[in-house]
Structure 1
Amino acid sequence: MATEALIFDVDGTLADTEEAHRVAFNLAFERHRLGWVWSRADYRQLLEVTGGKERIASYIDLLPTSAPERRRLMGLVPVLHADKTRFYTAVVQDGGVPLREGIARLIGEAQDQGCRLAIASTTTAANIHALLTATLGPRGLDLFAVIACGDQVRAKKPAPDIYKLALATLGLQPEQALALEDSVNGLRAATGAGLWTLVTPTFWTQGGDFAAAGLVLPHLGEPQAPLHGEPGCLLKTAGWLRFDELCALASPPPPLNAVQALYRGLPS
């Protein structure tokens, strides 16, 4: 069956945004004089929790503090997250977060083939708007037929809800679309919705269990920056993942029947 849509995660997949998010969290904490500083190691572990507000709440849960103080801090979560979002979008709008290698190229190739684009992310609409506008131009949002994000579903990744929402809005079955992710939680969400999934990990997610992925690459590659060992290792046609090869990898030929297998074994 032909691939009719590519569904992209955002943070870590379209762009390596996590350092900008980490800095923005710390600026929000500083503004409220909380004395919290999330190091890169801290944040890498905190990323196991999906969703910014949920991440802050999980951190508060682990603090050695009294029950009244914990309740007070929990009440601050929406304000902290709103401030963090403002700091983050300012960095993105200033051009501080570029797209990952090959993303713009793959989007263009998919469009040229009439494939629709969608987003399935746990981040906020404001974050998505800022990133797409800054990296793809003022009409960046218009490139995507569906943008499923943030609080549109009750359960965030690794639950499959956000991908099911994207598929339902596209009007497609899972076998008609592919997912692109960077994390274990994202992979679990996509495969839970029945989607073949490409994973391109970052520093923040590398080392995870990606056994359920259809393909794992360090990034998509570019003609001027081909993937090491490609073609010949995982890719056949080029040193970068092209849209047509992605579709071919996601739709392998059907197994040979008994007669085909018999003739395949005969000398030519």
Structure 2
Amino acid sequence: MKVDALIFDLDGTLADTEEGHRLAFNLAFERYRLGWTWSADEYRGLLKTTGGKERLGAYITQLPVSEVERSRLLAQVPGIHAEKTKFYSSVVNDGAIPLRHGVARLIEEARAAGCRLALASATTAVNVDALLISNLGKRGPDLFSVVACGDQVAHKKPAPDIYQLALRRLDLPSSRAVAFEDSANGLSAAVAAGFWTVVTPTYWTEDSDFSAAGLVLPGLGDPAHPLEGEPGRALRSAPWLTFNELLERAGETKPSLANQALH
């Protein structure tokens, strides 16, 4: 299998951002005097809905309030989310959300091999740029040939729209790229678009079903942060996922006929 591009999800995959998002939501709720506070356990459940505005809408829909009040709250969703984004960007700009171990290493290995990089994320372009610049410097956004964001498609994950958009912009079939995800919704989107997918769960997603993934690891790993039990448990060549092993493993599994039919 020839791999010409790696396509990464952002939240949870490039960086474990969800605690930053949760805190930013709670600060926005305070600013709007809503009296809501999302605990870590509650937010873990809310993450089943992809997209911040969609998550807010789903939360409001199940609140025990009158229909008039529900309509008023739903009308405030864009403003609440915009306020939340300001708080989140401030946290990221302060350098409080690092990339997960091994992400920067694999990016550099892929680029050295001439492989293009892309992002397929439900988050906003502002959040993408903030995280990349904070961790990779001003060159961060330029490392990615394509950045596909959730507000650019009709349907968010688990629908495959965001990955299909990334493929169109890369001008590649899914058989020439590998997707990286951390959640069940993300995996469903990637598989529906025909990708062989690597999943690296976090606390927020670790209890999900990832049986459709090509490879599931606790992280990508690097020499300073080797993966426990590797090589031997899931990897073959090193205690971190190398670009060469990624090519080898992706080449061993062909997309299913059902997935090929999507393209």
After superposition, give the CA deviation of every residue in 1:202-231 in whole Å (9 maximum; x if it has no partner). 000001000000000000111122111111
2:22 aligned counterpart, secondary structure: helix
Shift of 1:134: 0.3
1:241 and 2:244 matched: no
Q: Report the residue type matching 1:161 in the other structure.
A: D
Q: Secondary structure at the match of 1:147?
A: strand
- The residue identity in structure 1 corresponding to 2:213 is A
* 2:110 paired residue number: 110
Amino acid at match of 1:13: T
Gap runs ≥5 in structure 1: 255-268
The one-letter code of the counterpart of 1:202 is T
Q: CA deviation at 1:234?
A: 1.2
SS of 2:117's partner is strand
Could you say what secondary structure the match of 1:228 adopts? coil
Task: Trace 1:33-44 onto structure 2 (pairs within 5 A).
Answer: 33-44=33-44
Question: Could you say which residue in structure 2 is the equivalent of 1:125?
Answer: 125
Q: What is the match of residue 85 of structure 1? A: 85
Judged with a 3 Å threshold, the aligned counterparts in structure 2 of structure 1 residues 167 and 34 are, in CA distance, closer, same or farther, namely same
- Divergent runs of 4+, >3 A: none
Alignment match, 1:69: 69
Instruction: Quote the Cα distance in structure 2 between the aligned partners of 1:146 and 1:248.
Output: 24
- The CA deviation at 1:139 is 1.0
Equivalent residues of 2:117, 2:143 under 8 A apart: yes
CA contact (8 A) 2:196 2:253 kept: no
- In 2, the alpha carbon distance for the partners of 1:172 and 1:5 equals 8
Matched to 2:11, the amino acid is D
Match of 1:139 in 2: 139
Cα distance in 2 for partners of 1:233, 1:77 equals 45
Q: Aligned-pair RMSD on alpha carbons?
A: 0.9
Letter in 1 for 2:250: A
Query: Residue 14 of structure 2 aligns to which amino acid in structure 1?
Result: L
Q: Confirm or deny that 1:159 pairs with 2:170.
A: no
Offset of residue 150 of structure 1: 2.0
**Cα distance in 2 for residues equivalent to 1:22 and 1:76:** 18
Q: CA deviation at 1:34?
A: 0.3
Q: Secondary structure at the match of 2:10?
A: coil
Q: Percent identity?
A: 63
Amino acid at match of 2:247: C
CA distance in 2, matches of 1:253, 1:63: 45
* Counterpart Cα distance in 2 of 1:94 and 1:201: 25
Matched, 1:230 2:261: no
SS at match of 1:227: coil
- Separation in 2, partners of 1:96, 1:2: 36
Taking the TM superposition and a 5 Å limit, the aligned residue runs for 1:173-212 are 173-212=173-212
Task: Quote the residue 2:18 is aligned against.
Answer: 18
Unaligned runs of 5+ in 2: 255-263
Deviation digits for residues 61-85 of structure 1, max 9, x if unmatched?
A: 0111111111100010000000000
Radius of gyration: which is bigger?
A: 1
2:260 equivalent in structure 1? none
Partner of 1:257: none
- Equivalent-residue separation in structure 2 for 1:47 and 1:209 (angstroms): 14
The yes-or-no answer on 1:49 pairing with 2:49 is: yes
Inter-partner Cα distance in structure 1 for 2:193 and 2:150: 17
2:252 aligned counterpart, secondary structure: coil
SS of structure 2 residue aligned to 1:157: coil
Distance in 1 (CA, whole Å) between partners of 2:117 and 2:103 is 12
Question: Which residue is equivalent to 1:6?
Answer: 6
CA distance in 1, matches of 2:253, 2:150: 37
Q: Counterparts of 2:46 and 2:159 in 1: how far apart (Å)?
A: 17
Partner letter of residue 108 of structure 1? E
Aligned counterparts of 1:64 and 1:83: Cα–Cα separation in 2 = 24
Matched to 2:55, the amino acid is R
Superposed displacement of residue 233, structure 1: 1.7
Q: Counterpart amino acid of 2:72?
A: R
Letter in 1 for 2:93: Q
Shift of 1:253: 8.1
Q: Which amino acid aligns with 2:12?
A: G
1:251 match: secondary structure: helix
2:261 is matched with none
